[in-house]
Homo-oligomer: A and B are copies of this chain.
């Protein structure tokens, strides 16, 4: 019997539980509206390392190891680690995996990596290929800026459509053990298609990602035969203010018109008026820390009971942009519920 329903959605009979969560954020995120929810706030964005890349990897390792330790486990209790980040060749995840010594699967879906790891991790648990899996993702404003855009020292002006890469790492421990059934559980995963409507402006990722984001939400609702109102909260990863608005417009065109429960992690994490982040937050870490820090805790308190979390990725590279290519987008969604 297939566990796939519809075109792109997988239903988990065992509903793997999210048994632990840990978020690490940088100073700017600590100044934002969700500050109180994060687990560890670093006060300098080098995290006492020699480079931003090493700082990002250290944040990720800290998020994973603390998520493990918080439930009195050790790295040896974790079957597999699934992780990714924005750095070329996943430098942050690769070096964290080296130090943690957990069998490792590296993933890349740009900023969609957080839910990509949750989708694959849930399949591995539901299929009984593991008992406990760590999933994680990270990003860092300074390492991303210099890799994808300009040296920070240049002090370039930023477009109003541009987003601010979140300095943060989120990690979760997932398990298929029945004893965790009282915790938030992943019921479905919807794997996204790559969609590219021709946006070439690397300072407008929201517009590049919105079509794939809207498609994944629409496919999820169609595959599960649900109305969007089924969820207490639908939250995309990092479309920001521009992409969130466009995503709603596309959904409207596809007949999903009554949308009162949809927001975006990139909107939630920064204060638009005071933090000068223009179109909002982005980066793999954005949905990682907002889900870990904020939404997961609301699920535990049952202030939310049904959440659709969808991280969104812009699959551009410096090379593809320099070669005049447009920006493909992707989005993967996981449905998370607590009884």
Q: Which residues of A contact B (CB under 8 A)?
A: 1-4, 7-8, 10, 50-51, 53-54, 79-80, 84, 86-91, 94-95, 97-98, 101-110, 116, 119-120, 123-124, 126-131, 147, 191-196, 315-320, 323, 325, 328, 330, 332
Contacts and interface: CB of A to CB of B under 8 A. Distances in A.
Given A97-B330, A126-B127, 13 more contacts: A2-B128, A4-B79, A8-B103, A84-B108, A89-B108, A89-B110, A91-B317, A97-B193, A97-B194, A101-B193, A105-B109, A106-B107, A147-B319
Nearest to A82: B120
> How many monomers of this protein are in the complex?
2
Contacts of A102: 193
B104 A106 contact: no
Contacts of A84: 108
A3 B107 contact: no
Contacts of A127: 3, 123, 126-127, 129
Residue from the set A102, A110, A192, A319 with the largest chain B CB neighbour count within 10 Å: A319
Given A91-B317, A317-B91, A319-B88, A116 B123 contact: no
A109 B106 contact: yes
Contacts of A120: 105, 120
26 contacts: A4-B129, A53-B319, A54-B323, A54-B325, A86-B89, A87-B319, A89-B315, A91-B317, A94-B194, A94-B328, A95-B320, A95-B325, A97-B328, A97-B330, A98-B195, A98-B196, A101-B193, A101-B194, A104-B191, A104-B193, A105-B109, A106-B107, A106-B109, A106-B315, A120-B120, A126-B127
Contacts of A89: 86, 88, 108, 110, 315-317, 320
A22 B323 CA distance: 28
Nearest to A94: B315
Given A105-B120, A323-B53, A3 B128 contact: yes
A191 B318 contact: no
Nearest to A103: B191
A74 to B, nearest CB: 14
B319 A4 contact: no
B317 A88 contact: yes
Nearest to A316: B89
A316 B79 CA distance: 24
Given A195-B98, A328-B98, A90 B108 contact: yes
Given A106-B116, A116-B105, A315-B89, A51 B323 contact: yes
A11 to B, nearest CB: 9
Contacts of A332: 105
Nearest to A51: B323
